[in-house]
Amino acid sequence: MDENFLIGFAAIIVLGIGAYWVSWRLRIPAILLLLASGFIAGPVTGLIDPDRIFGDILLPVVSVCVAVILFEGGMNLKFSELREIRRVVVSLVTIGVLVTWAVTALAAYFLFGFEHQIAVLLGAILVVTGPTVIMPLLRNIRASGRMDSIMKWEGIVIDPIGALLAVLVFQSVMAGGIIVATEQVAFSVLKTVIVGGAIGVAGARALITILRKYWVPDYLQNPVTLMILIVSFALSDYIQRESGFVTVTIMGIVLANQKTVSVKRIMEFKETLRVLFISSLFIILASRLTFKDLDFILTYKSALFLGVLIFIARPLCVFLSTRGSGLQLKEKLFLSWMAPRGIVAASVASVFGLKLVGSGFTQADHLVSITFLVITATVLVYGLTAPALAKKLGIARPDPQGVLFVGAHDWARAIAKFLQDDGFKVSLVDSHWENVSSARRDGLNAYYKNIVLDNVAEDIDCEGIGKLLALTSNDEVNSLAALSFAETFGRSEVYQLPRQTGWHNPHEENYVSELSGRFLFRPEATYENISKKFGSGAVIKKTYMTAEFDFNAFSGRYGDKAMPLFLIKENGDLLAFANDNPPAPQPGHCLVALFAEITDVISVSEPA
């Protein structure tokens, strides 16, 4: 094997995943680091040359990666979310697409002097926003429920629509022109929709049948899913060129909205692939840029082009699409300021740019550089300003500090009531009606549910909830609850009581951590021990840390008589004490602890 090939291929993976990791640590959009890393690894240092590494299979590799990304995006689309926002989403992906397409094409024609075919194609490519950039921004912004759903649906649905639109324009250009090929394009649209839709539904139904009848073991579910996905994509493209993107998106939507089989395992696998493929694609495509591309795009014309996209095309798209929708002005303004482009635009521009250049359209060589300029600029502008705008408009939800308690027995209710009285949102879920009824009498929000059922998370309102505490007497139920909500809250924010037996075994510690939540409070804080403490008259109290009475002084004074439960920071963040990495109380923080029946608790009121 060519050593240069091996080094280049390894560099793509390392730079891609590394950029994601660093972006998470620095809390900046990953796409910016991916583009910078790709450019440095490509034209700057020459470490990566995708054309030499992949040769003739470069474009097929890019297409398959995009197919997996679109499939994963489709699996995030739930029809239940469309009840309130159907009209807005449909308008954005129809009227909005046409408006954006027209304005972008005109800007490209007049500013860059492109031939009308290339200008129209660039307009089609740049109508997409895309889940690869929308979803991370939404997680950072935490927009209100309706805004979150609208942008998610628009971003995911518009990807295959934009790709299809670009395909049809490309086909018309290759056929001899936009006007000449009108009849051919109309037939191609119909054929693409029929073929892509039929194969997408058929592929999804085949996979559902295989899973429902247990024709494959659990460890083969993900490989078989990937196999059916790629076969469906290839078959669709073979019958009707470029229809595969429609196929995979419809496959994902069908799987997401069926109730016959559980697809949670598939979702987790596809999310892993999505991160791998997005990071690799951005490195590959960015490394194909040249310094000549920079000379073309770093001009005042490019700045004007970006201004048209951001300040004219997007607001016009939103306000025309949302007429009579019932959206408030502030919601329309926020939607007008959220249209970052992503990997699908970059991939389609790369694929069609190469094909058109090979067919004699020399201006098509600039499609990729302009597309990457738009991706970089829009992600930078929207990523840096949208969170502040959302807060200014009152659309951003506060960082959720509420707690979902699994178990509504007496002392779980006592802890929940204490937090609720202190201003935190709490909810409890229990399968015993007596506990639920008692919680409701205490003024607590409680659900009569079995926490281990697959669909229980959909029935619980988690608005404002940021962590889960599993406090039942059953270790297995606690672990299942933590695992069920790990995706909802993140593994770092799902907790459970230490196991009543065996937790202290050092050989089991790593094993347990993979199959449970983080263990709460102290190693001895089992259900039985905490029940004994409450039965003996233990009480929950707050103690404010000061420079004179810090955590060391607190521990020295009370020792085992006080069990720290939570830490409330000055900004209102609520942190749970966990065995693996307990928070460090500082002066100004408020410590919530379970005290034995003692009378000498000090600093329980907030200092003046």
Give the pLDDT confidence of 171-223 residue by residue, as tens digits: 676 665 554 455 666 676 677 778 888 898 998 899 888 888 889 887 888 88
Structurally, the chain folds into a number of domains equal to: 2
- 603 within some domain: no
Residue 595: pLDDT over 80: yes
> What pLDDT is stored for residue 304 in this prediction?
92
Domain boundary among 393, 418, 444: 393
The per-residue b/e assignment along 557-585, b for 16 or more CB within 10 angstroms, e otherwise, is ebeeebbbbbbbeeeeebbbbbbeeebeb
Structure tokens at 303: 């700045």
Kindly report the backbone phi and psi dihedral angles of residue 469, in degrees, each rounded to the nearest multiple of 5, phi listed first: -120, 115
Distance CA 383, CA 134 (A): 9
**Of the given ranges (211-225, 256-270, 450-464), which has the lowest mean pLDDT?**
450-464
Using an 8 Å Cβ cutoff, are 287 and 48 in contact? yes
> What pLDDT is stored for residue 474 in this prediction?
81
Asked if residue 518 and residue 475 are part of one domain, the reply reads yes
Using an 8 Å Cβ cutoff, are 578 and 518 in contact? yes
Q: Would you give the end-to-end CA distance of the chain in angstroms?
A: 72
Residue 520: pLDDT over 60: yes
Residues 6 or more apart in contact with residue 466 via CB below 8 angstroms: 399, 400, 401, 402, 403, 489, 493, 574
**Of the given ranges (64-73, 356-365, 382-391, 513-522), which has the lowest mean pLDDT?**
356-365
Reported as a pLDDT band with limits 50, 70 and 90, residue 605 is very low
Asked if residue 333 and residue 207 are part of one domain, the reply reads yes
**Which ranges constitute the DSSP H helices of 287-366?**
291-297, 300-308, 314-321, 329-336, 343-358
Distance CA 320, CA 235 (A): 38
Domain boundary among 335, 361, 393: 393
* 275-287 average pLDDT score: 80
Distance CA 377, CA 44 (A): 20
Distance CA 67, CA 539 (A): 57
Other Cβ atoms closer than 10 A to 436? 19
* 285-300 average pLDDT score: 76
> What pLDDT is stored for residue 182 in this prediction?
57
Q: Tell me the pLDDT tens digit for each residue of 369-414.
A: 888 888 888 888 887 787 778 878 877 666 677 788 888 888 888 8
* 242-261 average pLDDT score: 81
Q: Tell me the pLDDT tens digit for each residue of 113-154.
A: 888 888 888 888 888 776 667 766 776 666 666 777 788 778
Tell me which range, 128-142, 242-256, 587-601, is most confidently predicted by mean pLDDT: 242-256
- 354 within some domain: yes
By residue range, what is the domain housing residue 541?
Answer: 402-595
> What pLDDT is stored for residue 521 in this prediction?
82
Asked if residue 275 and residue 319 are part of one domain, the reply reads yes
Q: For the chain, what percent of residues have pLDDT higher than 70?
A: 82
Residues 6 or more apart in contact with residue 102 via CB below 8 angstroms: 123
- 210 within some domain: yes
3-state secondary structure of 62: helix
Asked if residue 65 and residue 115 are part of one domain, the reply reads yes
Reported as a pLDDT band with limits 50, 70 and 90, residue 87 is confident
- 601 within some domain: no
> What pLDDT is stored for residue 357 in this prediction?
67
Asked if residue 448 and residue 427 are part of one domain, the reply reads yes
Distance CA 554, CA 114 (A): 72
> What pLDDT is stored for residue 132 in this prediction?
65
- 606 within some domain: no
> What pLDDT is stored for residue 144 in this prediction?
65
> What pLDDT is stored for residue 608 in this prediction?
38
Residues 6 or more apart in contact with residue 585 via CB below 8 angstroms: 545, 550, 551, 554, 564, 567, 591
The per-residue b/e assignment along 165-179, b for 16 or more CB within 10 angstroms, e otherwise, is bbbbbbbbbeeeeee
- pTM, entire model: 0.65
Q: For the chain, what percent of residues have pLDDT higher than 90?
A: 3
β-bridge pairing 426-430 and 402-406: parallel
Q: Which amino acid is at 558?
A: Y
Q: What's 576's domain CATH number? A: 3.40.50.720
Asked if residue 479 and residue 360 are part of one domain, the reply reads no
> What pLDDT is stored for residue 508 in this prediction?
46
The per-residue b/e assignment along 535-555, b for 16 or more CB within 10 angstroms, e otherwise, is eeebebbbbbbeeebebeebe
Using an 8 Å Cβ cutoff, are 189 and 171 in contact? no
Asked if residue 507 and residue 478 are part of one domain, the reply reads yes
Asked if residue 409 and residue 388 are part of one domain, the reply reads no
> What pLDDT is stored for residue 461 in this prediction?
67
Identify the CA nearest to 340 among candidates 393, 289, 285, 385.
Answer: 385
CA 416 to chain centre: 30
**Of the given ranges (41-55, 311-325, 456-470, 503-517), which has the lowest mean pLDDT?**
503-517
More confident residue, 346 or 316: 316
Whole-number average pLDDT of the chain: 78
Distance CA 351, CA 58 (A): 9
Residues 6 or more apart in contact with residue 182 via CB below 8 angstroms: 172
> What pLDDT is stored for residue 316 in this prediction?
92
Residue 80: pLDDT over 80: no
More confident residue, 505 or 212: 212
Asked if residue 408 and residue 341 are part of one domain, the reply reads no
Residue 173 parent element (H or E): helix 145-175
Q: How many residues does the chain have?
A: 608
Residues 6 or more apart in contact with residue 524 via CB below 8 angstroms: 498
Distance CA 575, CA 292 (A): 52
Residues 6 or more apart in contact with residue 586 via CB below 8 angstroms: 545, 550
Reported as a pLDDT band with limits 50, 70 and 90, residue 457 is low
Distance CA 188, CA 174 (A): 13
> What pLDDT is stored for residue 47 in this prediction?
82
Query: Can you give 488-543 as a three-state secondary structure string?
Result: HHCHHHEEECCCCCCCCCHHHHHHHHHCCCEEECCCCCCHHHHHHHHHCCCEEEEE
Asked if residue 298 and residue 217 are part of one domain, the reply reads yes
Q: Which amino acid is at 178?
A: I
> What pLDDT is stored for residue 603 in this prediction?
47
- 526 within some domain: yes
Using an 8 Å Cβ cutoff, are 549 and 602 in contact? yes
Distance CA 382, CA 320 (A): 21
- 356 within some domain: yes
Distance CA 370, CA 289 (A): 11
Structure tokens at 76: 């995030």
More confident residue, 101 or 462: 101
Using an 8 Å Cβ cutoff, are 112 and 123 in contact? no
**In DSSP terms, which residues pair with 404 in a beta bridge?**
427, 468
Distance CA 172, CA 496 (A): 60
> What pLDDT is stored for residue 103 in this prediction?
92
More confident residue, 597 or 366: 366
Residue 311: pLDDT over 90: yes
Q: Which amino acid is at 474?
A: N
Domain boundary among 393, 428, 451: 393
Distance CA 330, CA 395 (A): 8
Using an 8 Å Cβ cutoff, are 554 and 586 in contact? no
* 320-346 average pLDDT score: 82
Identify the CA nearest to 591 among candidates 565, 573, 572, 556.
Answer: 565
Q: What's 20's domain CATH number? A: 1.20.1530.20
Residues 6 or more apart in contact with residue 265 via CB below 8 angstroms: 218, 221, 222
CA dihedral over 326, 331, 336, 340, signed as positive or negative: negative
- 604 within some domain: no
> What pLDDT is stored for residue 506 in this prediction?
44
More confident residue, 147 or 254: 254
Asked if residue 482 and residue 385 are part of one domain, the reply reads no
Residue 557: pLDDT over 90: no
Q: Which amino acid is at 172?
A: S
Distance CA 389, CA 391 (A): 5
Asked if residue 533 and residue 424 are part of one domain, the reply reads yes
CA 136 to chain centre: 5
Using an 8 Å Cβ cutoff, are 469 and 489 in contact? no
